[in-house]
Each structure stands twice: as C-alpha cells, then as structure tokens.
C-alpha cells in the first residue's frame, strides 16, 4: 500500500483544535492514531509541520495529512461462511449476521468479519490499514445487514471518499418500543462520548459533539411497538440507537440505550442495514445493494402481526 496524502480545510468561522478537527474528518481512524500522526510529524498546517495535538486551526487553514503505508498485517484469515450479495475485482458486499464483530478488538481476537473475508479474499490484506483491511464503513456487532469491503487501495479510497462526503444512501429497518412523536421526522442531535460511561455514546446537547442526522419513516404500527425505516445522513457510532432512545422509543433488544429487559424476547437488537446505494468503480450511476431481513427479525414481526 502506498503513502496517502489528504488535504483538508477548516471551513468553519471559528478556531478548531487540530486533533478534534482531524477526528471529525478522518472517521475511519481512531483518535489515538490521529494523535500519533501529529506527534510523529505527519500533519502540516498551511505548509508548516505541527507536532501539538492541541494546536488551534484558524478559519480557512489548510491541513495536509500524510497517512503512511500500512505495515504487514498480523491478522490471519479464517474459514468462516459468508453471505455474499455482490463481488467483483474491486469490492465485496456482504450480508453480515448479527453477533459477528466486524474487526478484531479487545475480547474479539478471532471469528470477525475481517478475518472471514481475509480467508475468502486474501488480496484485501493491508488495504486501508493494518487492523481493518478493506473496511470502508462499519456495523455494530448486533446489527445485521449490508456491509462493503474494498479489495484494493484504489477502490478503498474511491468508496471511502463517498462515505466522507456523505453521498452514500444508507437505510436501516428497526423495531422500536412505543411510538415516535410523529409518523416521520428528522433528528438533528449531535453525538459524543458519554461523560460517565466511555464505552457508550450520548446526545451532546450541552457540549461538543459530532453532527448527527437521522430521518425516520413509519412502516407499520403495533399496540406497543413501531416498525420504522431510518436513513442516516451521517455515520456516527451507535447513531440510530442513540437517536431513537433520545426520542423515547429505543430500539427493541438494545440493552445499552433501551430497556435492560427487552419488551420482546430477542437475543439481539432489532436493527438491520437493509439498503446501501453507492457509486462503485467503473459505474456512472449509483448501484443499490439490499440484504433481506434476518429470519429472527421476520419472526418477531410475524408474532406482532398475529397478536394485533
């Protein structure tokens, strides 16, 4: 993988702390990785190297970031069945099952989606980074549905650029407790780390957070639940789960942001990434990929319809 140079501009009318600015624009990289880039001289502002992560950017400042080539990955491919929706020389689209972690992390050193894809398509090794080869976006462990991985650096940059530009159409299906305040609506509530529980996210109503926008549309109404479609215009961690809980109608089965004892017997959260529309290399128009609703979620809907 070759070295990558990214040019960004502070288009706001206020000063912006450098590491926070980069974290907002380089969401595929962790905050610690970004800070390491700064301290090791990988970031310049208006042509001058900057080594202080707390450096303040003036309005209009130009930031040049040099991403070094990935080192040889230590991940080992595994023989794990994959539900492949589409594949060509540039990318692979998979219907991820609930329960599968996307990439290795603390407590999940094997059995991940990345390791399954490495076992199936070894050429993704090192594409886009050491720990997350091929990934251009993410899904929570207990969210099923469409996820895309790139097979080469050119495709990775092309696809990831669309996620960063928010030109990708991402739609989810969810069952929530109760009922949203309106049949359809738009939630514009910034999201940040929970100040008390750092593994959780929370609405950032009185502090700095990242812009987060979701639009929801009611599909079906039940006495105690609502089946909705959600389009996300941003891709924040746990965005739909946080936004629905903020509206007072958390996702069924979400024991982090919703009820500790789910209102319906289900071993996962009822959240499914069912549609992804994106321009892929070589095409002139966006292509849409869809994943059918998981069987266990169909069963929940059938039960609710039977009892209504």
Query: Residue 26 sits in a domain of what CATH number?
Result: 3.10.290.10
* SS3 call for 136: coil
145 and 75 within one domain: yes
> Are the beta carbons of 174 and 251 closer than 8 angstroms?
yes
If you average pLDDT over every residue of the chain, what do you get? 90
Known catalytic residues are 140
Let me know if residue 129 belongs to a domain. yes
Q: Among 184, 190, 213, 186, which residue's Cα sits nearest to residue 202?
A: 190
Let me know if residue 234 belongs to a domain. yes
Beta bridge partners of 202: 192
Place of tokens 């979400």: 254
303 and 200 within one domain: yes
**Which of 24-28, 151-155, 183-187 has the weakest average pLDDT?**
24-28
Let me know if residue 198 belongs to a domain. yes
Inform me whether the pLDDT recorded for 194 exceeds 60. Answer: yes
Is pTM beyond 0.85 here?
Answer: no
300 and 231 within one domain: yes
Domain extent at residue 29: 4-67
Give the number of domains in the chain. Answer: 3
Let me know if residue 61 belongs to a domain. yes
pLDDT digits (tens, 9 = 90+) for 8-20: 998 888 888 998 8
> What was the pLDDT predicted at 74?
65
Let me know if residue 283 belongs to a domain. no
53 and 85 within one domain: no
Let me know if residue 47 belongs to a domain. yes
206 and 130 within one domain: no
Let me know if residue 122 belongs to a domain. yes
**Band of pLDDT at residue 238, cut at 50, 70 and 90:** very high
Inform me whether the pLDDT recorded for 83 exceeds 90. Answer: yes
Give the domain-ending residue among 161, 190, 205. Answer: 161
Inform me whether the pLDDT recorded for 245 exceeds 90. Answer: yes
């Amino acid at each position: 993988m070759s070295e990558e140079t990214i040019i960004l501009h502070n288009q706001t009318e206020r000063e912006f702390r450098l590491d926070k600015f980069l974290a907002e624009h380089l969401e595929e990289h962790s905050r610690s990785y970004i800070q390491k880039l700064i301290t090791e001289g990988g970031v310049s502002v208006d042509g001058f190297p900057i080594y202080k992560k707390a450096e303040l950017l003036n309005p209009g400042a130009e930031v040049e970031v040099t991403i070094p080539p990935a080192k040889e990955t230590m991940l080992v491919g595994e023989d794990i069945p994959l539900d492949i929706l589409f594949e060509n020389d540039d990318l692979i689209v998979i219907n991820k099952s609930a329960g599968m972690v996307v990439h290795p992390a603390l407590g999940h050193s094997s059995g991940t989606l990345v390791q399954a894809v490495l076992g199936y398509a070894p050429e993704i090794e090192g594409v886009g980074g050491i720990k997350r080869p091929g990934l251009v976006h993410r899904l929570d462990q207990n969210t099923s549905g469409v996820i895309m991985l790139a097979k080469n650096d050119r495709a990775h940059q092309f696809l990831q650029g669309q996620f960063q530009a928010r030109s990708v159409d991402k739609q989810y299906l969810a069952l929530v407790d109760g009922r949203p305040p309106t049949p359809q609506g738009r939630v514009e509530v910034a999201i940040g780390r929970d100040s008390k529980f750092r593994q959780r996210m929370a609405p950032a109503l009185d502090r700095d957070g990242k812009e987060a926008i979701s639009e929801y549309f009611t599909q079906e109404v039940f006495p105690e639940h609502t089946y909705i479609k959600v389009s996300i215009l941003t891709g924040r961690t746990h965005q739909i789960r946080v936004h629905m809980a903020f509206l007072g109608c958390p996702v069924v089965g979400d024991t982090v942001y919703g009820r500790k004892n789910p209102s319906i017997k289900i071993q996962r959260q009822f959240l499914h990434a069912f549609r992804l529309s994106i321009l892929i290399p070589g095409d002139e128009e966006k292509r849409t990929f869809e994943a059918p609703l998981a069987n266990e979620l169909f069963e929940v809907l059938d039960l609710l319809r039977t009892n209504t």
